[in-house]
Every structure is written in structure tokens, then in C-alpha cells.
Structure 1
Amino acid sequence: MIRIPPEQKTHRRYEIAEHFLRENIEGGRLPTGFVLLEGPIAEILQISRAPVQRALAKLEADKLVHRFNGRGFLVGSQDMGVAPNRSDIKALGLIIPQHVDEALQSRSSWERIYNTVEHDVAGCVVFGLYRIVEIELADHFKVSRTVVRDVLSRLQERGLVRKNQSSHWIAGPLTAQSIKDHFSLRRMLEPSALIAGAAHISNAKICELFVRMTNLEATAQEGHSDKLEELQRQMIDLCVLATPHERMRELIRNNLLPVTAAERLLRHLGLPDDPTTITEMRLVVELLMRGAVAAAAAMLEAHLDASMKRMIAQLKIVAVLPTPTATADYLTRLGDVTANPVPGRLSGPDTDPHHS
């Protein structure tokens, strides 16, 4: 059994996830062949998916889990040849060891509510302009105003909220122009990051990703959207975030937050994915696999241009949908942000309509 040294006062989130999974695998509570998905694990531990992904990669390196032709990881080594068990992980009654529970409890309060607030905010900005009231947010989560300000400051750093001229916290609206701005930054950063990090990309992993993309491209099976989202994230992680430039990685991640949140929401609204998306991504990976780094960067730029146009077209559809009636009670809709005939804009101005 792995124990964290008692003198260690802080714990990285991926270490918390790794210890939780490792002890349940070694204790037999996670059976061989069980399918591990990032989302449900993140929900159990109340952390984001990124540290769970890193924890699973560490367990994969230790041959406690392995990838297969499907979403997630299978418990056990690859040579065991077991069939996937897709039961609900929450029904297994997994044990959170004491040292893991203590590590979770010691995380600062803002971290424990951050993911939920980020999800709530990202889910509403497609539909208009919203104000976040600090005292209502604090009451909603039963936390202090200091904790709320920590959360909102981090959301501001990532471009999901801002303060208007009246010092009110504002989120949205997601407009055609804001999408263009995000993708302009993506075109500046991501192809350059791909070139800078090409020498650091694992050839085995890029070949594996190519095979998975090719398989998805050749089929139209149920769950295509989830698989596409997973492969898109893996392509970014493997091909773009391999750059050794830490600041560039941080800028790319933060700029991607509102984009990926919007893409996920559009999928949840039932808007279909364009089948050319996986083809574009597969070409990027294939060119990298063949050593054509400059061509892969050019293909990535073309993919980003096409993705921007697809998202703007989908936003035009959303503009005529009714605004959701259920949002978090600390989010207050401001004014009537609807379709705008001005080219390139799908909603009202990026200001607080209550401020002249």
C-alpha cells in the first residue's frame, strides 16, 4: 500500500487520483477488465479531468491499466486479453483511503467548487450575457466571499468571466467575434507549438492515436461525439502541448477553455459533428507520424480555420433556440441578447446592457 509521507503538506491532484485508483486496483475492488473513464473518476474525487488523465497515464506506464479500442482504459495489463466491463464505477463501493481523503479535504475551498462554477458559467454563455453575484454564489455553495473571489479571479485569468465598468462580474455572451478572437490566438500559438514540440512527441503514441482516428473515421458508431471529443483532446495533449515552452502551454490551455466548453455545449444541444473534423485531425497526426512537421502544422492551421467556421455556423442555429429556463441561481441574465444582423455578430455587444 502506498503511503504519502506524513510531513508532506500539499498534494498534487494527479497524485490524489493515482493513489485512489492504485489502491483500489491492488485491493481488487477495481476488477480486471473494468473500463476507467476520466469523467466519473473526476466526479468521485471532485477534481477536474486533467489530473485524472495524468494519473491514468502513470498507471498505464506501470502496466496497471492499458488502452483499448474504445473510450478510457481497461484495468490490467494488455496481454491479459480481457473483455471490457462497462459497469458504473460508482456502484463498486470503492474505498477512498484515509491519506487520500485527508489530501482531498486539505485542498483549498476554492478548488472544491471551482469545477462546478466553471461548468455552470460555460453552459450559459452561448445564450447571452450573465452577471454573477458574489453573495449569491457564496450562499449557493455555503462558502465565504473570499473563496468566491478566488474562484472568480481564476475564471477571469482563463477568460471565462470579466469585470465590467461597474465592477460587476460578467460572463458571456459567446459571439461570432469572440470565437474568431479565440481561434485567431489558436492559429498563432498551436501550429508553432506543434513545430517546437515535434521532437518530444512519442512515436508509439502518435501511431496509436492515428489508428484510433482512422477507426473512428471509417465508422459512424453510436457515441461518435464522445469519441471525437476524446481524440481531439488527445491530439492537443500529444501534438500541441508537447512544446517545451511552459508559458506557451499555459496560454494555449487557457485560450482553449471557452472554446472546448462551447463545443461541448453545442454537442449537448444536439448539433451534429461534421464528419470532416476527424479527417482533418487524422491528417495532422498522419503527417506528424511521417515526419512532415511543417506540413502537419499547416494542416493544423487549416483544421482550425475550418473549426472556426463550423462553430460560427452552429452558433447561428443556437441564436434561434429558446434560452434555457434552468441555470444556477447565482447567474442572472442581463437584457435580451439575441441574433444581430451585423455580419460576424450573433448577439448583443460585449458590455453590460445596464451600464450606459
Structure 2
Amino acid sequence: MTTDIDLLSTSHLYAVIAEVLDEHIRIGQLPPGLVLLEKPIAEVFQTSRAPVRRALAELESRQLIHRFDGRGFLVGPSSAAVPPIRTPFKALKLSLDAQADAALQTRASWERIYAEVERAVASCLVFGQYRIVEAELADHYRVSRTVARDVLSRLQERGLVRKNQSSHWVAGPLTAKDIRELYELRAALEPVALRGAVRQTPRETLQALCERCSASRRRPWTADMIDRIESDLHESLLLATTNDRLAESLRHIQLPLVETERFLRSLGLPIDPRIVDEHRIIYELLLLHDAVDAAAAALTNHLQAESRRSIIHLKTAAVFTEPPPLASYLARRVGY
């Protein structure tokens, strides 16, 4: 491996994935121009997309891959003009050295499903209160009740679920007050993360992100487009800050808001075109000399606007008599 990370001791699955991909890029098994997509990589590593997404962001920060206008990433720096290669990821048959293989095999069972459960729970909060049925969670993922309980315990530690008076696991609801408070926390922390992240972000990456926002203004609005623009800034860029504790705290603060908005956009809620302009302004300021403070202020303004939009979306979601189908282990509670 090319970095000093101890794969056997790291607690982060994304770091293991990043190092494996890093090594295969450097030895040429993942050739320049290869298209990297989250889902196929997640399937190979038998994990959810969340750690893969973070691993790809890490490789982008090392300038080993760059974002692809089509979808996903291309192997190689953004300056490399190579045509995209669409080889199925499984067909590449990655070989793992002993350390990487051991690190992947010794992952606790709960870690393999945690991120997916976390996202499913976060997505339902806007629709009211839900009970998470431990036995059905175990059946859904074909794991033991002990593993399911471990997942729920960690969700409890992070404030997404709790036990009610009947000792049932419950989540939600996400209220307007919750939204305001979470966005206040984000407004306090994300500008700090921005200052830390921008110091190690290549100028070419910022230019590509800015250009994507500009190009998006000329295309029909889609939920996927907005999801990607939001993810570019709030996940890929900001969570790349060198302060790991700040990044971890931010991720958990962002989670219920990001997943709720993503879910509601997928249902066809109206998209405010100002979102793209707000992101573009932040990137334009970051590209100017000595304008990081102005970019941080623009980020704060964006988050305040997002808070107002989210509360409007929350009220809109309240008109749904029945939410869309969710995971089988989530049971909506009426009249709680």
C-alpha cells in the first residue's frame, strides 16, 4: 500500500477500500479512464455505498481519480484527456494482499449493514414516528438478532433511534424545531470544515465543481442532479476536512436532513433553482484569491436558506396520508 495507514487497526471501512483501490490504480490494474461507480464497487466489497462514496472522495483528493460528467469517476487526474472505459468492475478481479484481505474479513457483521440501515431510518423521519422491529431487521439482512441489536445500539448512540417506554426501538418524528436546530449546528460547523477542506482541495477540483453548477443551469432540473450538487459540496468537499472528529460530527448532523431532502426530491417535490446558484457562488469565491471568508459566509447563507426550504418541504410531506414504501423492518406508528 502507498500510505502509512494500518489497515488492520483502522476503524474506517472507507479507508480500507480507498487503500485497495489506490494500490490497484498505481499498479495499473485500474487503468486510466476506467469509470468507477459506487454500486459495483460496493457489491465487490460487500458493503453499502456510503463507505465507497467516502473512499472515492479520498482518492479524488489524492488526484488519482476525477469526476466524470457522465456519472461516477474516471481513473486518472482531471488533466488526463482519456476516453472513458466502461469495464464491469467485477470483471477486473481485484487481488487483495494479506493485510487488506484480513482487514475486510474481520469487519464486524454490524458494520457491513450499518450505513444502509442508517440511511433507511433517516429517510423515514419526516413521515412521523417509526418502530424498528429488531427481528425483521435481522431477517431482512439475514443476520442474527445480536447483530441487529448492535446496529440499533449504535444508531441510538448517534441520536437516530431511542427506546420508548415499552422498550421498543423507535425513530422520529423530525420536526420543524429539529430542522432549525440541526441547521444551526451545520451553520456553525460547516464553514470551519470548509476552511480545513479547501486547503487540500486541488484548484482543478473546485473548477470542475463550479463548472458543473454552471452547466446544470442549462439543463432540465432533476432530483439526481440536485442530489449530486448537494453531495459534491456538503459530503465530498466538506467531509474531506483534515479534522476527522469534525467530519464525523458533521456527517451525523447532516444525515437526517440530507436523507430526508433526498427522499422528498425523489417523490417529485419542486426544486428551488436557487440551490445551484448558491453552490456556484461558494465555488467562485473559493477560486478567488484570499476569499475563503466570503465563501464561508456564502455557505452560511446557503444553509439558512436550506433550513427554510426544508421546513416548507416538511409541511408539504405532512399532506401524505401514507408515505411511500420503506424498508420492511420499519413500522409506522399512528397516534403515538
Please confirm whether the aligned pair reaches a TM-score higher than 0.5, indicating the same fold.
Answer: yes
Give the aligned partner of residue 190 of structure 1. 190
1:258/1:19 CA distance change after superposition, 3 Å = same
Match among 252, 255, 260 for residue 254 of structure 1:
252
Q: 1:33 is paired with a residue of what secondary structure? A: coil
> Which residues of 2 match residues 120-199 of structure 1 at below 5 A?
120-195=120-195, 199=199
Give the root-mean-square deviation of aligned CA atoms. Answer: 3.5
> Which residues of 2 match residues 33-48 of structure 1 at below 5 A?
33-48=33-48
Give the aligned partner of residue 340 of structure 1. none
C-alpha separation in 2, matches of 1:163 and 1:9:
34
C-alpha separation in 2, matches of 1:160 and 1:128:
13
1:289/1:30 CA distance change after superposition, 3 Å = closer
- C-alpha displacement of 1:243: 5.0
C-alpha separation in 2, matches of 1:27 and 1:237:
29
1:82-115: CA deviation from partner (whole Å, max 9, x where unpaired): 333557x36x534253555554332101011212
Give the aligned partner of residue 213 of structure 2. 213
Give the aligned partner of residue 84 of structure 1. 84
1:199-218: CA deviation from partner (whole Å, max 9, x where unpaired): 5554443333222222223x
Q: 2:331 is paired with a residue of what secondary structure? A: strand
- C-alpha displacement of 1:179: 1.5
Give the aligned partner of residue 300 of structure 2. 301
Q: 2:66 is paired with a residue of what secondary structure? A: strand
1:221/1:191 CA distance change after superposition, 3 Å = same
Moved more, 165-174 or 77-86: 77-86
C-alpha separation in 2, matches of 1:36 and 1:142:
28
- Say whether residues 1:331 and 2:323 are aligned partners: no
The percent identity for this pair of structures is 48
C-alpha separation in 1, matches of 2:20 and 2:132:
35
Moved more, 162-171 or 303-312: 162-171
> Which residues of 2 match residues 277-296 of structure 1 at below 5 A?
277-290=275-288, 291-296=290-295
C-alpha separation in 2, matches of 1:146 and 1:83:
48
Give the aligned partner of residue 228 of structure 1. 226
1:155-192: CA deviation from partner (whole Å, max 9, x where unpaired): 12333212234432111122222222211211222234
Q: 1:131 is paired with a residue of what secondary structure? A: strand
- C-alpha displacement of 1:128: 1.7
Which runs of no fewer than 5 residues in structure 2 stay unpaired? none
C-alpha separation in 1, matches of 2:23 and 2:206:
30
C-alpha separation in 2, matches of 1:50 and 1:244:
19
Q: 1:17 is paired with a residue of what secondary structure? A: helix
C-alpha separation in 1, matches of 2:8 and 2:173:
40
C-alpha separation in 1, matches of 2:61 and 2:199:
20
C-alpha separation in 2, matches of 1:65 and 1:3:
15
C-alpha separation in 2, matches of 1:106 and 1:234:
31
> Which residues of 2 match residues 99-110 of structure 1 at below 5 A?
99=98, 102-110=102-110
Moved more, 259-268 or 121-130: 121-130
Alpha-carbon contact 2:38-2:49 (below 8 Å) kept: yes
- C-alpha displacement of 1:48: 4.2
- Say whether residues 1:75 and 2:57 are aligned partners: no
- C-alpha displacement of 1:151: 0.8
